[in-house]
């Protein structure tokens, strides 16, 4: 049978190990809470910037705006390419007239 002093010693040693774990977890929690606060501020700033620049902070609306801009950009690229082809054709015609 285990003696009383041995049980107390084992319990104290176990409590010391648990205290270290508790202290580590408490420090982790404090760091995590700080990170959550920082990320919440970052999100608020990003939303404010989106509202100022895009008029909304709604993700679906922003995605729609981006898709519309990509479509418009593709159209403008095609129009520019057509204008360049037209200039090339006219220059070629001018060269042939000489």
In the chain, domain spans: 1-57, 58-98
CA 1 to CA 64: how far, in whole Å? Answer: 74
CA 93 to CA 98: how far, in whole Å? Answer: 9
Structure tokens at 53: 């620049």
- pLDDT, tens only, 71-83: 999 999 999 999 9
CA 26 to CA 16: how far, in whole Å? Answer: 15
CA 70 to CA 53: how far, in whole Å? Answer: 17
Evaluate if residue 6 carries a pLDDT over 90: no
Q: What sign has the CA pseudo-torsion 33, 34, 39, 44?
A: positive
Q: What pLDDT is stored for residue 1 in this prediction? A: 53
């Amino acid at each position: 049978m285990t003696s009383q002093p041995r049980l107390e010693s084992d319990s104290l040693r176990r409590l010391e190990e648990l205290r270290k774990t508790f202290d580590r977890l408490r420090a982790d929690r404090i760091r995590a809470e700080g990170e959550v606060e920082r990320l919440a501020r970052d999100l608020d700033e990003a939303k404010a910037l989106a509202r100022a620049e895009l008029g909304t902070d709604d993700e679906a609306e922003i995605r729609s705006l981006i898709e519309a801009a990509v479509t418009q950009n593709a159209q403008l690229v095609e129009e520019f390419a057509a204008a360049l082809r037209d200039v090339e054709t006219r220059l070629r015609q001018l060269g042939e007239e000489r």
